[in-house]
Structure 1
Amino acid sequence: MSGNTRQWARDLWLGVRLAVSGGASGWTRTALTAVGIGLGVVVLLLAASVPQAMSGRGERADARSTFGAEVSAPADDTILVQDVWTEYRGERIAGRELQPEAGQDSTAVPPPGVSDFPAPGEVLVSPALARLLDSPNGELLAERLDYRRVGVIGDEGLLGSQELYYYLGVDDLVADSTGTRVDHFGDPPSLDSEVSPALILLVLVVAVVLLMPVPVFITTAARFGGERRDRRLAALRLVGADVRMTRRIAAGESLVGAAVGVLLGGLLFLAIRAPVAGISVSDTSFFLSDIVPGWPLTVLVLLVVPLLAIGTTLFAMRSVVVEPLGVVRQASGGPRRLLWRLVPALLGIGLLLPLLGDFSGTDSSVVQAIVGVVLLLSGATALLPWLVERCTARLRGGPVAWQLATRRLQLSSGPAVRAISGITVAVAGATALYMLFDGVRAAETTETGADLDRAQVEVVAWTADSALTEPLVEELRSTEGVQRVLPYIDSEAVPRVGGEGAPNEEPAYLRVGDCATLAELARIEDCADGEVYQAPAPDGWEISPSKPGDVLDLGAAPDGPEGERIQWTVPDGVRDVEPRDSPAGRLAYGLLATPGALEGQLPTDGSTRMLLQADVDAPDTLELLRNAVWAAPVEGQVWKLETSRISDELANIQIGMVVGASGVMALIAASMLVTTLEQLRERRRLLSALVALGTPRATLGASVLWQTAVPVVLGLALASGIGVLLGAMLMSLVRLPLGSWLAFLPMAGAGAGVIALVTLGSLPLLWRLMRPDGLRTE
């Protein structure tokens, strides 16, 4: 080992000893630094676990998939399967019906997580579904899934710990009709769905915005107790240490806090894994074994965090002169320079400008966009100290509390700026993210056209056989919370028959319902049973209307011999009416007939749709309707009508954004509280001296609040401006119309709210420190 290496090692070790042997003060500083760094490490480890979590979830989805496993001929190892699903109080409950074709002699392999196929009428459920069925909140669902439970599905057969999933044994599936014949499980889907560049950019910005505040908080925590450390270093200079030695000793002290912070962060990460695994957000959850960071990312976190802490300490000492007789840090130096602080923001703008209107989602454009966003957000952190210094330098006069606050900021605004730098980055990023998300949501949202004043629920039965659907209609009418049910038969592809009985290639469309129902599908006046109406299709659809004399095939005759078909001739006197969107937002064009016009020969091909006026705000109405449809002898579905619908990709991004933002805001609040407490501890003697001189506590308390409020207002103003600029550029990248210019208001409000809560949380320590006995020393 060379002499320089031994000297480095001795100096670092001395710094370590000073950090752990400095008494209560040294341990307090180390503990505060460790807590601040530990909170950031938790977030980094959680972020590093995302690839593993998504990979595990995808592997289990592939293992139970039957995509590509279809076979044509039955065999001893073939199974008929059908995917089914229902919804309960906003939670999607998916399942799969299983029917081994060889019965008890089947050699088929059960799906993952299942040891044996359930017999007809038996069900295997996930642990989360079992808990829901056994809870008082799941009584209505238990009525719907009233099967004999014979076990639970293992973890390897579920996507997540909170997934609501089941396997049901049946014996009534028919191949190529109600069931699909497969011979194994585990063929992953090979379809690659294309994601729009706007969604790709949105995902990138979400990741950057959620992670950007973390290094800011880590560097802030690494500078805790800087003034006390510098005084200790001055004492070392007095006994012979040179400038380089003091810096190495300071690096050793920071290394201790960083190492303890990494250890604490690792322990906190292990402690929160189980609660995180128990959380389900919009049907998305993970197992405990999924929440494991990959080794490369873990090693990167373990190396980068201590190096970042040491680098921050050395960078902070560049403007501090540690001499044997004291520390020179408060001598008035030159003002902060603006030019170099503009460089990150200008570089970020320079990288984003070439992508305006031309972001394709390729690897190169993705890297360029990420770097540009990071640099522009970093510009907010670089500009904030200059802005606070220039603005506070012009403040004069005012009450005593105001003067104490402004004078403190004029002498040293660094600690106050560092305390809010993280929230500044978060607000700037969140403002840009909100603008981009709002633009993407407008592009990815589909207006359904539903009229919630006319109906709130639509029930669809996948048959037009009135013998099967009429009991269901009566059951729905008697359901609690339902005021009105309007059923009609929807035959959307009824073949027309020419003069010799040959089917015509062009389909006809027929809706059959009473006058009250038809009035919801078209603008009909003076309706009477026996009437037939013609609602033309929109221009450009190239759909020819049915004419009187056309013979329509309505499906198989329910009571006739096999092969007999119901045929109906379009009568004379068909009245033209103007079509209108149904309450469900569906345009009903074609023939609209009352039952009397068909002389009792109702269609059997097609579906039956029921428009319901119901109290959907009542917690049980939708579940009672779903139970009625589930128990009916027909397959059907219950839909709560909505005026708009967003894409599944955007919904998943929104879920991730909400979860991530909640975690980052918690990190922001906790880290700022730690930072504020450390600053108050550093100024204990000053506060005690002012109290001893007779300064009222209320005045000191107000001055501390003003010291926080002034940088906060300036930081939020800067963050709002940069956030709006970044948001406008991101929207231009993917050619979204510019808008949401006031997106900074809720973001700035949330940031101010977090700071207010942190300030209130620090008041108890402030009152405790404002006592004359704080001047005692040894």
Structure 2
Amino acid sequence: MIGFGLRLAVTGGREAITRLVLIATATALGVGMLLAVVAGINAVTTQNDRTAWLSVRGEDTDPSGSLWWLDRDDFFRGQEIQRVDVAVAGPGAPVPPGIDRLPAPGEYYVSPALHSLLASAPAAQLGDRFPGREAGLLGVDAVPAPDDLIVLVGRSPADLSAVDGVSRVGAISTSTPESDASAIKAILGIVAIGLLLPILIFINSATRLSAARREQRFAAMRLIGATPRQISWVAATESTVAVVLGTAVGFALYEALRAPIADVPFTGAASYPDDVSLTVGAGLVVALGVPVVAAFSSLFALRRVRISPLGVTRRVTPRAPGFWRVVPLIAGLAELAWLVGRRPSSSDSQTFAYLGGILLVMIGLIVAGPWLTMVGARALAARSSRPSTLIAARRLADDPKAAFRSVSGLVLALFVTTVAIGVITTMTADRTAEHDTGDASLMHLYVPGTAAARFSVVDELRAIPGVTEVAELRTEPGSDYTTLASCAELAGWSSLGRCPEGAAVVEVQSAVLEPGRTWPASTVGPAEFANLAAAEFFVQTDGSTAALERARTTLENGFPGFVPPPSTERDLALGFVKAMAVWRQVADVVILAGLPIAGCSLAVGVVGGLIERRRPFSLLRLSGAPLAVLRRVVALESALPLLVVSAVAVGSGLLAAHLFLRSQLDISLRAPGAEYYLVVGVGLAVGLALVASTLPLLRRITGPSAARND
């Protein structure tokens, strides 16, 4: 029977070859995208694991550890540099990944991207921050992404041990902290849920092409004596041969997509092409799982034939879907609502709870779709007066499951898009006020408890071209919060406040610096002020890159090791900007990949429906129905479930986003901007355009010859 099934698949005439090509093509696209998603997740996981060594964890600190360790961030031209200073504190000091030995005092290792930057940037702006010479490049194991800027600096034990914030460690971290890992899991969960379900629906839709026509053929075979077991083997073989061919092509498509996937900054940075890879287990699951699923899908579609061959010819109207189908959708939204005010304490529990709720809502949309389609069709039939509208409404009401199946992928894509854009828009609007990214000309350094710099920092700063003003705040004796400023230095500033008339030194609270504010006079005189420990530096520049970076280098060399380093408001906002960029990237990936996949699923579903109903449509044409009426019937049968269920999906997406924001961040959803409505509008328009593009097939497949009995 396997050989007979193979002959039916490839020698069954033009219709069989067309079906084989369509199923293979659709499966290839679905498998290729499925493998790309899995490989992208592996790339992000690998990239995340490589960041573990870059910062010391609490469990790594050891008062008797053999390595002095100081990790901190630095900035250059709007980019973040990750810097780690090390010094040997005892025998057996651990060595970070990517190098064979620790850098000696006066040596440093750099990532390839930073090596190129050091070669092109003036030393006074960047290179002078790192003492000594470059000892070599950090290997791939130590550099999470190709464009990452990382430096590992060797220092003497006496020098590094005196720096504030330094730690002694006995081991270097090899695992990502729980808090960081949970964020990555959440991102990967959103991508996986947003893409995998539409892909699986796409593959399932492809394997069900011409199911009705095959039912009739297999029913005839049953009537001449074929057993249910034989029919099952033939059906499984006929479906599997196309899926196996498509799966093989899908693996080739995945290989072609590896390089473009590596360039997608899922976490804010691109990946290495070699990281975009599949594990042996994942490859086997896809290679074997997709054909197996296709075989079972084929058997499920032909279940009526296995029960009785007459069941196909009678064509009993399926049972109408019940109201119970909306229960999973309501349950998913109720679970997210219950989490408001009850956020789980652990990050793993949060990931499970929120992603579980969103997944339940998505499953609920799929389960409730046929019922919603039926309700919309009955409402349309009650108000229809045109033949095409009445025919479409009646057909939808008779079999809403088949009608909804073709649009289910696009409905899910719209739901995920709504959730992603709703969350990102609200987070961006809420947190932008907390991160002022406007001023990039004022440099600030906080240096508590420092008695003196290594050289005259103020004189050096004032000698830099582009530096317009320098203010040095000093620590008030006996106070941890109040700093002092010289009125001579404040005289040229408009943003730090001013001195009362006759005062030489004033008490300043740098946390509440305000333009035009008059500070109270201090009892400390100018001579005593000059001998106090430095507390903070403010450097006003003309905003040029050269002035900013030279001032930063001067401050870092004068006061090494302070966290945060000399920075502007824009520098300090880089983390926020990067985080928002990551979430936007996730949304873009889901939208740009999910909508085309859903559109392909819709096109396959509509074409499959036309092929299955070619005989009824041909009989309608022979009975006098104009071709335009049939086209309106097909358009309405696809457009009605798409619009009805999409409205529910969009509303559920906005509600799910609001509940997540209230529970996780204690903020309310803000109305999405024009970008969101444009994306939804384009998605629906593309879906309707795909339906319209299939209408010309009606003339070709509903000719008089299609009305004959096979």
Task: Give the corresponding residue for 1:428.
Answer: 415
Residue identity in the other structure for 1:389: M
- Amino acid in the other structure paired with 1:32: L
Following TM superposition, by how much is the alpha carbon of 1:288 offset from its aligned partner in structure 2, in angstroms?
Answer: 4.3
Q: Give the Cα separation in 1 of the matches to 2:529 and 2:460.
A: 17
* Partner-residue secondary structure (3-state), 1:754: helix
Q: How far, CA to CA, are the matches of 2:476 and 2:167 in structure 1? A: 32
Structure 1: 5+ residue stretches without partners: 1-9, 479-484, 497-504, 538-578, 615-620
**Equivalence for 1:630:** 553
SS in 2 for 1:488: strand
1:162-201 matches, within 5 Å, as 162-167=147-152, 174-177=159-162, 187-188=172-173
Residues 343, 350 of structure 2: 8 Å contact kept: yes
Q: Which whole-Å CA distance do the structure 1 matches of 2:349 and 2:72 have between them?
A: 42
Match of 2:464 in 1: 475
Equivalent residue for 1:360, pick from 344, 351, 356: 344
Offset of 1:655 from its aligned partner? 1.9
| Equivalent in 303, 320, 343 of residue 336 of structure 1 | 320
Q: 2:82 aligns with which of 90, 94, 101?
A: 94
Give the counterpart of 1:679 among 599, 602, 606: 606
Contact 1:122 1:169 in 2 (8 A): yes
Q: Does 1:641 pair with 2:569?
A: yes
Alignment of 1:257-656 (within 5 A): 257-281=242-266, 283-294=268-279, 300-302=285-287, 304-317=289-302, 327-328=312-313, 333=317, 336-348=320-332, 355=339, 357-361=341-345, 371-393=356-378, 394-395=380-381, 416-432=403-419, 435=422, 445=431, 447-448=433-434, 452=438, 457-460=442-445, 467-475=456-464, 477=466, 485-491=468-474, 493-496=475-478, 508-512=482-486, 514-516=489-491, 520-522=495-497, 524=498, 530-534=503-507, 580-582=512-514, 597=526, 601=530, 603=532, 605-612=534-541, 614=543, 621-622=544-545, 625-630=548-553, 634=558, 637=565, 639-641=567-569, 652=579, 655=582
Residues 714, 44 of structure 1: alpha-carbon distance in 2 compared, 3 angstrom cutoff: same
Cα 1:228–1:668 shift into 2, 3 Å:
farther
Provide closer, same or farther for how the CA distance between residues 364 and 58 of structure 1 changes in structure 2, counting only shifts above 3 A: closer
3-state SS, counterpart of residue 610 of structure 1: strand
What is the match of residue 714 of structure 1? 644
- The secondary structure found in structure 1 opposite 2:472 is strand
Asked if 2 retains the 8 angstrom alpha-carbon contact of 1:238 and 1:324, the reply is: yes
State the Cα RMSD in Å: 5.5
Residues 725, 342 of structure 1: alpha-carbon distance in 2 compared, 3 angstrom cutoff: same
Runs of at least 5 residues in structure 2 that lack an aligned partner in the other structure: none
Q: Work out whether residues 449 and 581 of structure 1, in 8 Å CA contact, stay in contact via their aligned partners in 2.
A: no
1:103-141 superposed Cα distances (whole Å, 9 cap, x missing partner): xxx99886433356778887654344456677xxx6679
Alignment of 1:702-741 (within 5 A): 707-731=637-661, 733-734=663-664, 736-740=666-670
TM-score by length of 2: 0.74
Write the letter of the residue equivalent to 1:250: A
Q: Decide which structure has greater helix share.
A: 2
SS of residue matched to 1:427: helix
Q: TM-score, normalised to structure 1's length?
A: 0.69
| Alpha-carbon distance change, 69 to 432 in structure 1, aligned in 2, over 3 angstroms | closer
Deviation digits for residues 369-423 of structure 1 (CA, Å, limit 9, x no counterpart): 6554433322211222222233234246578987786677567665552232122
Return the letter of the residue paired with 1:19.
A
In the TM superposition, what whole-angstrom CA distance separates every residue of 1:197-229 from its partner, at most 9, and x where no partner exists? 999888766654454434333332332232343
Equivalent position of 1:4 in the other structure? none
Of 25, 30, 44, which residue of structure 1 is paired with 2:20?
Answer: 30
Measured in 1, the distance between the counterparts of 2:175 and 2:626 equals: 73
Give, in whole Å, the separation in 1 of the partners of 2:402 and 2:621. Answer: 22
C-alpha spacing 1:347/1:81, structure 2 compared with 1 (3 Å): closer
Return the offset for 1:657: 6.8
Quickly say closer, same or farther: Cα 1:512–1:774, change in 2 above 3 A.
Answer: farther
SS at match of 1:606: strand
Alignment equivalent of 1:215, drawn from 171, 191, 200: 200
Shift of 1:720: 2.2
Q: How far apart in 1 are the matches of 2:135 and 2:116?
A: 14
Count of residue pairs brought into register by the alignment? 686
CA distance in 2, matches of 1:144, 1:696: 76
| CA distance 1:770–1:425, change in 2 (3 Å) | same
The CA distance in 2 between the partners of 1:287 and 1:605, in whole Å, is 45
Measured against aligned partners, the alpha-carbon deviations of 1:453-502 in whole angstroms (never above 9, x if no partner) come to x8754343858769322442453536xxxxxx4432122x4334xxxxxx
Q: Which residue of 2 aligns with 1:19?
A: 9
Structure number with greater Rg is: 1
CA gap of 1:99–1:731, structure 2 versus 1, over 3 A, is: closer
The 5 Å alignment of 1:6-155 reads 10=1, 14-42=4-32, 44-45=34-35, 48=38, 53=43, 56-57=46-47, 60-62=50-52, 68=60, 83=71, 85-88=73-76, 90-96=78-84, 111-115=96-100, 124-130=109-115, 144-145=126-127, 151-155=136-140
Cross-structure match for 1:500: none
Inter-CA distance 486–400: structure 2 relative to 1 (3 Å threshold) = farther
Q: Residues 383 and 172 (structure 1 numbering): CA distance in 2 closer, same or farther, change over 3 Å?
A: closer
Task: Provide the rounded CA distance (Å) in 1 between the counterparts of 2:143 and 2:473.
Answer: 37
Say yes or no: does 1:670 pair with 2:670: no
Aligned 8 A contact 1:441 1:646 in 2: no
The 2-side partners of 1:447 and 1:532 are apart by 33
Structure 1 428/65 Cα, relative in aligned 2: closer, same or farther at 3 Å? Answer: closer
Letter in 2 for 1:669: P
| SS of alignment partner, residue 374 of structure 1 | helix
Amino acid at match of 2:320: R
Contact 1:385/1:414 (<8 A) preserved: yes
